[in-house]
Amino acid sequence: MSYKVVVLVEEPVTSWDARQIVALHSDTPEPVHYYVLIPVEDAASRVESTIGSLAASEVMGTAALYLDENDLERVHEEIREASRRSLDMSVQAFSTLGAQVTGEVTAHDPLDRLATLVQECGAAEVIILTRPHVVAELFHVDWTARARRKLNVPVLHLLAQSEPDWESEVRHQNGDSP
């Protein structure tokens, strides 16, 4: 039997973040298995955003750009491929530490898939790793607040980070300039 943790992320897990997450379970008596869940960026929103930017450029007198079905499908495929690469990088970050890890990309609502995955694998906890979303967090509509209302397991929210530059931090604390 293993202790199962679902990790919902909005961008690839860095080696730093993977070390922090694995360290949280260093004293767990049974083996820990991580399930990484990455949502596919919404292609329609991305195209809509691009078109909105282009519409603004029309006001400024630049040429219009039209997307046909082939262009739209190419954008969708690029987004799916980027999500698969993000998943591979995330799984690798955990694997490098010797952690048991599997992962998936979802095109569905990330919280619906999270709830289903927690049930399917019998997860003991959920970790949600995101960039800061101050406004969403303030109004409790962020993934973490919504997951806590929806799930019957502990939900921990961590902010994604990259490897700290310790030398720069020490120089700053000592009053040295870079």
DSSP 153: S
- What pLDDT, on a 0 to 100 scale, did the predictor assign at position 44? 47
DSSP 17: H
User: Dihedral (C-alpha) 27, 28, 30, 35: value to the nearest 10 degrees?
Assistant: -120
Quote the CA–CA distance of 127 and 13 in Å, as a whole number: 12
Query: Of all residues in the chain, what percent carry a pLDDT higher than 70?
Result: 70
Average pLDDT over residues 26-40: 95
**Tokens matching residue 66:** 């039209």
Q: What pTM did the predictor assign?
A: 0.75
Do 126 and 155 touch, CB atoms closer than 8 A?
A: yes
User: pLDDT for 70-94, tens place per residue?
Assistant: 777 788 788 889 999 999 999 999 9
What residue ranges define each of the domains in the chain, with the CATH number in brackets? 3-42+68-173 (3.40.50.620)
Between 169 and 125, the higher pLDDT residue: 125
Length of the chain: 178
